[in-house]
């Protein structure tokens, strides 16, 4: 998760990185905190349409961003943002996924306390003001609450004309949203067919509501893309995930990427376009096979 330890670790990584080896474009991105990277247009990208939506959950009303191909019915996907929440970067990421052929719901996980956007960029989370805004909202999120939310989001997607209910639903999440993908698969096992976690925090624990303990209650295929600095701090987590997936009979691609925590989020100072594109391709492959 994007905690103070992670941020100090990433800052130290920047201080020793040889920017000349990155190329001018990546170096410019790294030294411009908060800018949004724009990958080259995808071949075959579909035109999309989007709208702001509200979803009734057992705990209140959640604001979200829904984007889908402009025509037709498509598999639904629930996208869980990182710790800084629903903002421009995740609207962009959701739109790119919609252009690949999915009806994407990008949710505000902090809806119990505030509408989105709470922060405009991930970099603002690293400031005292950003942490003052977010920490009380983080405290409102519980494992059980996320499961309730996920069930409501699946139900909402299944009522949309853009969603093909004959196909399974996918979910992808980043940073704190990584474990939420497992909870989503657990909340609606008969509907959620694939879950992808990118540099997810808190995936492995001993409690009964830890994501690693929930795999047996799902029917999804999984992708766990782990940051190298997260793996260095918790080297046993990948083995525990593999063992839990095997015991549950769930397909799971589990890999440590040569990138730092946060590398897939396009407005992150640590964004690594090469490794982010590789992770993106693996997610699309998972969805193509499982949804």
The two three-digit tokens of residue 99, written as one number: 């252009």
Widest Cα–Cα separation across the chain: 51
Angle at 101 between CA 98 and CA 104, to 5 degrees: 35
How many other β-carbons are positioned within 10 Å of the β-carbon of residue 256?
Answer: 17
The two three-digit tokens of residue 272, written as one number: 């690594």
Residue 50 burial by CB count (10 A; 0-12/13-18/19+): exposed, middle or buried?
middle
Residue 227 burial by CB count (10 A; 0-12/13-18/19+): exposed, middle or buried?
buried
Q: How does residue 212 score in pLDDT terms, banded at 50, 70 and 90?
A: very high
Q: What is the pLDDT of residues 22-74, one digit of tens each?
A: 333 333 333 344 457 666 678 899 999 999 999 999 999 999 999 999 999 99
The two three-digit tokens of residue 101, written as one number: 């052929």
Q: What is the pLDDT of residues 30-43, one digit of tens each?
A: 334 445 766 667 88
Q: What is the DSSP letter of 163?
A: B
Q: What is the pLDDT of residues 81-90, one digit of tens each?
A: 999 999 999 9
**Rounded distance between C-alpha atoms, residue 23 and residue 25, angstroms:** 6
Q: How does residue 18 score in pLDDT terms, banded at 50, 70 and 90?
A: very low
Q: Is the pLDDT of residue 168 over 80?
A: yes
**pTM recorded for the entire structure:** 0.90
Torsion angle of C-alpha atoms 157, 160, 162, 167, degrees rounded to 10: 50
């Amino acid at each position: 998760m994007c905690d103070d330890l992670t941020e100090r670790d990433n800052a130290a990584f920047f201080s020793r990185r040889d920017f000349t080896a990155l190329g001018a474009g990546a170096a410019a991105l790294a030294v411009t905190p908060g800018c949004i990277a724009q990958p080259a247009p995808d071949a075959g990208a579909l035109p999309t349409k989007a709208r702001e939506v509200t979803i009734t959950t057992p705990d209140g009303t959640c604001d979200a961003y829904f984007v889908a191909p402009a025509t037709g019915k498509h598999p639904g996907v629930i996208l869980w943002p990182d710790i800084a929440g629903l903002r421009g970067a995740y609207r962009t990421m959701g739109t790119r996924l919609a252009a690949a052929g999915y009806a994407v719901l990008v949710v505000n996980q902090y809806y119990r306390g505030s509408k989105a956007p709470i922060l405009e960029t991930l970099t603002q989370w690293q400031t005292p003001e950003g942490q003052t805004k977010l920490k009380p909202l983080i405290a409102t999120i519980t494992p059980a609450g996320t499961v309730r939310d996920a069930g409501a989001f699946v139900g909402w997607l299944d009522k949309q004309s853009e969603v093909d209910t004959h196909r399974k639903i996918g979910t992808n999440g980043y940073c704190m949203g990584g474990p939420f993908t497992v909870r989503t698969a657990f909340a609606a096992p008969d509907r959620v067919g694939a879950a992808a976690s990118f540099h997810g925090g808190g995936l492995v624990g001993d409690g009964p509501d830890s994501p690693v303990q929930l795999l047996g209650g799902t029917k999804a295929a999984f992708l766990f893309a782990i940051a190298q600095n997260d793996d260095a701090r918790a080297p046993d987590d990948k083995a525990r995930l593999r063992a839990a997936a095997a015991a549950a009979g769930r397909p799971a691609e589990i890999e440590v990427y040569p990138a730092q925590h946060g590398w897939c989020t396009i407005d992150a100072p640590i964004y690594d376009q090469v490794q982010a594109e590789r992770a993106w391709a693996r997610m699309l492959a998972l969805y193509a096979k499982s949804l």
